[in-house]
């Protein structure tokens, strides 16, 4: 398994030198400054390559840009409106440019409007560190009383609405502003940042798009781009919905194993693959992560290894980012399944034997608390997670032999 690290570019407070000290082997990055739907030019790609290849003192880093996260899919494509055909054509061109630059693994998602949703970006933990958290009551308070989405009250259980109303009544104006900012924060580093009016506008445009229609739009996108990726030898890998249940009245199409299987079967090409994110999928108790790795592993081109703790029973509930070996996902079992998949690939003679993974997210601990890096992407918290994952992988790859046997 290949150890990688996400980097948001020159403005990221966690820099190339930090990655080297963490012992990573490759870098995951993107051109966050390029507007969604536009072509990624060879010049812009080459610039990011140079930035990754250079340490702070100007000497070579020995690192390379190995995985794109993300080459975003525009809202026009998801809705099949506006300039969606042009955006698909641009997507194909960007894939060709990335392949020419030696990058073959491309992560993306098909979530409407927001790329991920949390209510707290720095939730205080008992040990004094912080993490990201989704609180269903605060989210309901945002949806019903701040965003004031039509029909929002009916989408939550009565007990949730009652507590949300109490929460909102006790909320300071500063917390209301903070909560709204947290919910619409989306993908850190993205070119677009949404206001509440932007969110309302986008939600209105999805009014006639249900799950079946969004899936059909997704498959239509893949029917266009996956054959191009397949011809190029590029691997596309779709990130799951985060969180993996409906929000804001929007449909979800990549939240379960059945969702993934439907899309993989519809466009049955190796290039049409999966980013298996244990944190996102693990929020649902009905997602069996080790089993998904075993059953869908031949299409898993990228792994996000993080953990979450569910705070409530049922599908739709609160959760927070846990330590990498804590939480509700059996990370040891998942890593064992990933190593089994690598063995299957090795035995089959596949060229993509080593699956890239990154320690996704992390709790802010120690000096992270003063650095204030991208939410979810601290230096020390991710290093701790990577060290733990690295240790599990080493132990699984070299099991202890019982000398008495």
DSSP 180-244: HHHHT--STT-S----HHHHHHHHHHTTT--HHHHHHHHHHHHHHHHHHHHHHT-EEEEEPPSSS
Set 259, 361, 364, 368: catalytic member: 361
Q: Which residues pair with 2 in a beta bridge?
A: 356
Which sign does the torsion angle of CA 224, 225, 228, 230 carry?
Answer: negative
pLDDT at 189: 42
CA-only gyration radius of the chain, Å: 21
DSSP structure string for 333-369: HHHHHHHHHHHHHHHHT-S--S-EEEE----B-TTHH
Residues in the chain: 405
What's the CA gap between 235 and 276, in Å, rounded? 14
Place of tokens 């918290």: 381
Cβ count within 10 A of residue 118: 23
Verify whether residue 360 is a known catalytic residue: yes
What's the CA gap between 207 and 187, in Å, rounded? 23
Verify whether residue 277 is a known catalytic residue: yes
Calculate the CA dihedral of residues 239, 278, 319, 250 and round it to 10 degrees: 20
Q: Is 309 left (phi over 0), alpha (psi -120 to 50) or beta?
A: beta
Phi, psi of 133 (to 5 degrees): -145, 150
Helix (H, G, I), strand (E, B) or coil at 172: coil
How high is the mean pLDDT in each 10-residue block of the chain (405 residues)?
Answer: 96 94 97 95 98 97 97 96 98 98 98 93 97 97 97 95 98 96 68 77 93 98 98 98 95 97 98 98 97 98 98 91 97 98 97 97 96 92 97 90 52
Helix (H, G, I), strand (E, B) or coil at 29: strand
Strand runs labelled E in 278-349: 300-305, 307-310, 319-322
Set 120, 242, 360, 368: catalytic member: 360
What's the CA gap between 305 and 286, in Å, rounded? 18
> What is the distance between the terminal CA atoms of the chain, rounded to a whole angstrom?
30
Verify whether residue 361 is a known catalytic residue: yes
Set 277, 288, 316, 320: catalytic member: 277
Phi, psi of 351 (to 5 degrees): -85, -15
Cβ count within 10 A of residue 124: 12
Question: E strand or H helix at 258, and its extent?
Answer: helix 257-266
Set 301, 304, 320, 324: catalytic member: 304
Verify whether residue 294 is a known catalytic residue: no
What's the CA gap between 49 and 27, in Å, rounded? 10
Helix (H, G, I), strand (E, B) or coil at 387: helix
Residue 124 has which token pair? 């205080």
Sheet strand arrangement including 120-124: 120-124, 130-134, 319-322, 307-310
pLDDT at 400: 65
- Contact of 286 with 273, CB cutoff 8 Å: no
Which sign does the torsion angle of CA 247, 219, 308, 235 carry?
Answer: negative
- Contact of 232 with 93, CB cutoff 8 Å: no
What's the CA gap between 121 and 124, in Å, rounded? 10
Phi, psi of 31 (to 5 degrees): -100, 75
Residue 359 has which token pair? 């320690």
């Amino acid at each position: 398994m290949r150890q990688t690290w996400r980097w948001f570019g020159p403005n990221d407070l966690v820099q190339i030198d930090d990655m080297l000290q963490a012992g990573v082997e490759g870098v995951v990055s993107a051109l966050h400054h390029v507007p969604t739907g536009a072509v990624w030019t060879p010049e812009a790609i080459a610039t990011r390559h140079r930035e990754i290849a250079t340490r702070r003192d100007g000497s070579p880093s020995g690192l390379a840009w190995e995985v794109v996260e993300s080459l975003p899919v525009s809202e026009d494509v998801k809705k099949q409106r506006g300039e969606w055909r042009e955006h698909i054509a641009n997507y194909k061109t960007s894939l060709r440019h990335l392949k020419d630059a030696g990058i073959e693994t491309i992560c993306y998602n098909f979530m409407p409007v927001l790329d991920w949703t949390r209510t707290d970006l720095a939730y205080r933990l008992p040990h004094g560190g912080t993490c990201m958290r989704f609180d269903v009551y605060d989210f309901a308070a945002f949806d019903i009383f701040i965003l004031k989405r039509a029909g929002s009250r009916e989408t939550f259980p009565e007990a949730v609405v009652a507590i949300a109303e109490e929460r909102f009544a006790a909320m300071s104006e500063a917390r209301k502003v903070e909560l709204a900012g947290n919910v619409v924060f989306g993908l850190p580093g993205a070119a677009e940042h949404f206001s509440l009016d932007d969110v309302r506008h986008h939600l209105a445009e999805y009014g006639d798009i249900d799950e079946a229609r969004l899936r059909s739009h997704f498959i239509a996108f893949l029917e266009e781009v996956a054959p191009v990726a397949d011809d190029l030898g590029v691997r596309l890998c779709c990130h799951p919905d985060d969180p993996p249940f409906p929000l804001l009245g929007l449909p979800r199409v990549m939240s379960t194993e059945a969702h993934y299987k439907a899309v993989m079967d519809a466009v049955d090409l190796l290039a049409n693959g999966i980013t298996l994110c244990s944190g996102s999928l693990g929020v649902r108790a009905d997602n069996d992560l080790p089993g998904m790795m075993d059953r869908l592993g031949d299409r898993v081109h990228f792994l996000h290894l993080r953990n979450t703790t569910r705070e409530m029973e049922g599908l739709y509930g609160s959760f927070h980012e846990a330590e990498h070996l804590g939480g509700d996902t059996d990370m040891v079992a998942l890593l064992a399944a990933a190593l089994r998949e690598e063995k299957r690939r090795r035995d089959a003679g596949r060229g993509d034997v080593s699956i890239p993974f990154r320690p996704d997210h992390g709790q802010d601990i120690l000096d992270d608390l003063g650095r204030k890096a991208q939410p979810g992407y601290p230096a020390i918290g991710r290093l701790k997670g990577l060290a733990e994952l690295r240790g599990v992988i080493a132990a699984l790859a070299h099991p202890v032999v019982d000398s008495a046997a």
